[in-house]
């Protein structure tokens, strides 16, 4: 099993450009999450999804949109990138029951210039 | 959301046991206590979790206070590869599916 795969691993954007980050999981998990992590900081929840076709806002949702058209994929979009969105982005997935572990991707390093 | 509080940083000597504390005084009866760690330049990885009883696995042990308001992650014999940021979080259901992280404890291992 691949687990949680994030695409791309690195990206440089110019201010105002748009892009989509893809998170794919092959474990049939119901829950999926997008986080950002700034240097020396903890993970901050951007958006999350509790199932196909559902999304919800996390702690820092502004400037981002998400979609979960298929259970295995969770997309994070930046419509008009800003330098403040320079960060490392992590995706995670988990089964519904809290007595199970969450799995994380290896991250996408995004730089907005 | 029930929150957790951890020390910002800790140091330990190599091959010594390490006890990482976590306070969660507002924990509810359905919250599971989870620990994850993040090695440098990697995504977080699962360490251990529990509800009420102490738990052991190949990586660590989790000691949960009787009133569940605190817990301790125990690394029995720290190695240099255990240097990481350790996060204590609560997983719940019943309408609270968010998985939120605090700032964690940065563990430094001294050779």
B residues 52-71 lying closer than 8 A (beta carbon) to A: none
pLDDT of residue A41: 87
Q: For every residue of chain A, which 3-state class applies, written as one string?
A: CCCEEEECCEEEECCCCCEEEEEEECCCCCEEEEEEECCCCCEEEEEEECCCCCCEECCCCCCCEEECCCCCEEEEEECCCCHHHCEEEEEEEECCCCCCCEEECCCEEEEEC
Contact B17/A at CB under 8 A: no
Average of per-residue pLDDT across B80-96: 88
Contact B50/A at CB under 8 A: no
Q: Which of A57, A55, A58, A32 is nearest to A45 (CA)?
A: A58
**Which chain B residues are within 8 Å of A48, Cβ to Cβ?**
97-99
What are phi and psi for residue A85, nearest 5 degrees? -95, 5
pLDDT of residue B92: 85
pLDDT category of residue A111 using cuts at 50, 70 and 90: very high
B residues 22-41 lying closer than 8 A (beta carbon) to A: 30-32, 34, 36
pLDDT category of residue B98 using cuts at 50, 70 and 90: confident
Residue A39 Cα, gap to closest chain B Cα (Å): 11
Cis check: omega of the bond before A8, within 30 degrees of 0:
yes
Tell me if A106 and B91 make a contact (CB, 8 A cut-off).
Answer: no
What are the tens digits of pLDDT across the range A64-107?
999 999 999 999 999 999 999 999 999 999 998 889 999 999 99
pLDDT of residue B49: 96
Tell me if A101 and B32 make a contact (CB, 8 A cut-off).
Answer: no
What are phi and psi for residue A84, nearest 5 degrees? -65, -15
What are the tens digits of pLDDT across the range B19-74?
999 999 999 888 999 999 999 999 999 999 999 999 999 989 999 999 999 999 99
pLDDT category of residue A4 using cuts at 50, 70 and 90: very high
Q: How many CB atoms lie within 10 A of CB A39?
A: 7
pLDDT of residue A1: 59
Residue A45 Cα, gap to closest chain B Cα (Å): 6
What are the tens digits of pLDDT across the range A23-64?
999 999 999 999 999 988 899 999 999 999 999 999 999 999
Question: Does residue B3 carry a pLDDT above 90?
Answer: no
pLDDT of residue B30: 87
């Amino acid at each position: 099993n691949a687990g949680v795969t994030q695409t791309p691993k690195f990206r440089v954007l110019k201010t105002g450009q748009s892009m989509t980050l893809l998170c794919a999981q092959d474990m049939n998990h119901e829950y999926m999450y997008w986080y950002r992590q700034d240097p020396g900081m903890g993970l901050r929840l951007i958006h999350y999804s509790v199932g196909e076709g559902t999304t919800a806002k996390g702690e820092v949702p502004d400037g981002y949109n998400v979609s979960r058209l298929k259970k295995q994929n969770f997309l994070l979009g930046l419509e008009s990138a800003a330098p403040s969105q320079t960060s490392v982005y992590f995706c995670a997935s988990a089964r519904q029951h809290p007595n199970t572990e969450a799995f994380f991707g290896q991250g996408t390093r995004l730089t907005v210039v | 959301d029930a929150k957790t509080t951890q020390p910002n940083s800790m140091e330990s000597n190599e091959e010594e046991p390490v006890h990482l504390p976590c306070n969660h005084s507002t924990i509810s009866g359905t919250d599971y206590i989870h620990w994850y760690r993040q090695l440098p330049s990697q995504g977080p990885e699962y360490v251990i979790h529990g509800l009420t009883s102490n738990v052991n696995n190949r990586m660590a042990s989790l000691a949960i206070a009787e009133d569940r308001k605190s817990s301790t992650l125990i690394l029995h014999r720290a190695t240099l590869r255990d240097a990481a940021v350790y996060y204590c979080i609560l997983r719940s259901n019943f309408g609270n599916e968010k998985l939120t992280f605090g700032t964690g404890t940065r563990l430094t291992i001294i050779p």
